[in-house]
C-alpha cells in the first residue's frame, strides 16, 4: 500500500455558532491542511499520483476558503449542523476531494484529510 500526503495552508476567520466560550466570537486561524491519498499500484512513471495534479485540486478548494469568513461560505452558512468547526472543515475538504475524481477507475483514492487550526489542535476525517 502506498500513501502520499500533500500539505497546504490558508487564512480564514470563523466563529462557532451555539457555542459558549471565546470561540463564539469572530477570530481567525492559519489553517493547515493535510490530504492523504492511498493506493496499491503505481503508474508507469512510478507514481501513485502526480503531486502537481493533487496540489491543483486542493488549491481550487482552498482558494474558495482563503481570506473569507467560513460562516459565510457554503456549506457553513445556515444551521448549526454545518458549524465551521475544524471537524466539519476536514469532512468538507475530504468530500470535495473525493468528488473530484476523473471518472476513471483510479487506483489511488482520498484516504483522509487532517486540518490543523493551531500548532497544537487538529481534526481528521476519513471513511472507515
40-76 per-position pLDDT tens digit: 999 999 999 999 999 999 999 999 999 999 999 999 9
Whole-model pTM over 0.85 = yes
Q: Give the span between the Cα atoms of 79 and 103, in whole angstroms.
A: 32
Residue 111: half-sphere exposure toward Cβ, Cα within 13 Å: 17
Place 104 in a pLDDT band, splitting at 50, 70 and 90. Answer: very low
Pairwise CA distance, residues 97 & 59, whole Å: 11
Number of CB atoms found within 10 A of residue 117's CB: 20
Segment 2-23, tens digit of pLDDT: 999 999 999 999 999 999 999 9
* Domains of the chain by start residue, with CATH: 2-125 (3.30.479.10)
d(CA 122, CA 87) in angstroms, rounded, equals 8
Amino acid at each position: 500500500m502506498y500513501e502520499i500526503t500533500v500539505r497546504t495552508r490558508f487564512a480564514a476567520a470563523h466563529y462557532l455558532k451555539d457555542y459558549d466560550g471565546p470561540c463564539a466570537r469572530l477570530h481567525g486561524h492559519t489553517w493547515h491542511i493535510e490530504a492523504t491519498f492511498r493506493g496499491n499500484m503505481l503508474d508507469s512513471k512510478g507514481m501513485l499520483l502526480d503531486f502537481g495534479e493533487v496540489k491543483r485540486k486542493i488549491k481550487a478548494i482552498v482558494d474558495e476558503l482563503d481570506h473569507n469568513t467560513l460562516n459565510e461560505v457554503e456549506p457553513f452558512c445556515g444551521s448549526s449542523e454545518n458549524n465551521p468547526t475544524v471537524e466539519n472543515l476536514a469532512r468538507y475538504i475530504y468530500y470535495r476531494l473525493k468528488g473530484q475524481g476523473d471518472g476513471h477507475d483510479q487506483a489511488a483514492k482520498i484516504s483522509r484529510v487532517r486540518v490543523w487550526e493551531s500548532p497544537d489542535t487538529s481534526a481528521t476525517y476519513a471513511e472507515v
